[in-house]
Amino acid sequence: MSEYQYYEFQAIDRLLTDAEFESIKKLSSRGNVSRSQAIFVYNYGDFRYEPIEILSKHFDMMLYMANWGTRRLCFRLPKKLVNLEEITFYCVPDVITTSIVNDHVVIDIHFNSDGGYGWIEGDGILSELLALRNDILQGDYRTLYIAWLGSLTQDNADDIDDQLEPPIPPGLKQISPHLKQLIEFLEIDADLIEAASTESIEKLNCNLEIKQWLPKLTTTERDKFLLQLLNGEPNVDKQLNKRLRQLADADTNFKKNILENGQRTASQLLAAAEKLDIEKKAKKQRAKEEARIANLNALAPQETQLWVEVFQQINTKTTKGYEQAVKLLSDLKNLAHHLGTTDQFIAKVTKIQQDYSRYSALKTRMIDQKII
């Protein structure tokens, strides 16, 4: 199978300038570039530039995937809008990292998996993930926590057994469509997320919780935010949200109540996910067995008629008739085992063998389906 590499960059806070647009177009002949997006696809060769440098200079999000199992999702965030200390809780060496580039913080989620070399297609994935950036800027760290969970099973994560869980963000039980897309993109075990979510409180409506601190803003602060809004500056709402969260924390220890939790070890979480998987499989098996028994109980009153149909199908002397007869015999065999009448079933099948010994096509099908 040929290799496949997909790079996509997305500008969110602003469009590329004329100079940037022309510069990005010159990076590769395989690029599809617009004022807000750049896509590069390689089936051989590679992108000649360091993608994080391109992101940190010109774009706000980057997605990379390769069919040997690598997945990468990166965010460029205005430094003044994020709390780097909180974000650092979720970092894992070589897997989830942060760096500061000028006035921005870059978050790099870099997964490697042995499950590569399948058919993949990158087009359209990043557009489904754009809302994750806004979540992080609003102080919703479910994206980072889910990525941390996924890091526990990555080939490039070392010594994770005793690693302590970072703060569990609210609302982990309510997975939005863009979080579902993240889970699918990073190929994170759904049972691991479900097991971890048991300790997550319900998601707070941040606007409802935070807006009560609006009166705490000084007149100078309000005028500043209004002036930024009138000037069309980007992310004014996020700046306001961050300031209100600071006020909330100062008054009620808001951050401690929301963020300072989660002390399970990685091995405990992985064990909980494995236990959940076993329980789900057992439940599914029980349901399957209950359905099988219910089906057999429903079949029991029809036993006499089913035997009549067996002989009718055999006597058609057609391939289709033989196949239908053997299917009915298979149902009757299961029913006999359920009712404890296996001896009677064997006797009837033996009689069929004797009476239709010259029907070789029928005999072959009965052997194939283990009727005889």
- CA-to-CA distance for 300 and 245, rounded, in angstroms? 67
Angle at Cα 314 formed by Cα 309 and Cα 320, nearest 5°? Answer: 95
> Are residues 203 and 170 in contact, defined by beta-carbon separation less than 8 angstroms?
yes
Contact in structure between 11 and 37 (CB atoms under 8 Å): yes
- pLDDT interval class at 247 (50, 70, 90): confident
Give just the sign of the alpha carbon dihedral 325, 326, 328, 333.
Answer: positive
**The pLDDT value given to residue 216:** 86
User: Rounded distance, CA 245 to CA 329, Å?
Assistant: 70
How high is the pLDDT of residue 228? 86
Please check the confidence at residue 248 and state whether its pLDDT lies above 80: no
Q: Percent of the chain scored above 70 by pLDDT?
A: 91
| pLDDT value for 178 | 96
- Kindly indicate the confidence band of residue 225, based on its pLDDT and cuts at 50, 70 and 90: confident
Q: Supply angle C-alpha 163, 169, 174, rounded to 5.
A: 120
Instruction: Report how far residue 106's alpha carbon sits from residue 225's, in angstroms, rounded to the nearest whole number.
Output: 25
On the CB side of 322, CA atoms within 13 Å amount to: 17
Domain boundaries, the chain: 5-202, 204-254, 291-368
254 band by pLDDT with thresholds 50, 70 and 90: very low
Looking at per-residue pLDDT, the higher value among 15 and 232 belongs to: 15
CA 227, 228, 230, 236 torsion: positive or negative?
Answer: negative
Predicted pLDDT at 117: 55
- Cα(217)–Cα(121) distance, integer angstroms: 48
Q: Considering only residues 243 and 76, tell me which one the structure prediction assigns the higher pLDDT.
A: 76
Whether 235 shows a pLDDT value over 90: the answer reads no
Averaged pLDDT for residues 126-145: 94
pLDDT, tens only, 22-53: 999 999 888 899 999 999 999 888 898 999 99
- Asked whether residue 259 carries a pLDDT value surpassing 80, the answer given is no
Query: Do residues 175 and 140 lie in contact, with contact meaning Cβ atoms separated by under 8 Å?
Result: no
Average pLDDT over all residues of the chain: 88
How far is residue 77 CA from its own chain's centroid? 23
In this prediction, residue 154 carries a pLDDT of: 78
- Nearest residue to 133 (alpha-carbon basis) of 188, 220, 63, 202: 63
- No. of H helices and E strands in the chain? 16, 7
Measured CA distances, 223 to 83, 138, 165, 215 (Å): 24, 22, 41, 13
Per-residue pLDDT tens over the stretch 81-90? 998 989 999 9
Query: 157 pLDDT exceeds 60?
Result: no
The identity of residue 21, as a single letter, is F
Confidence of residue 155 (pLDDT cuts 50, 70, 90): low
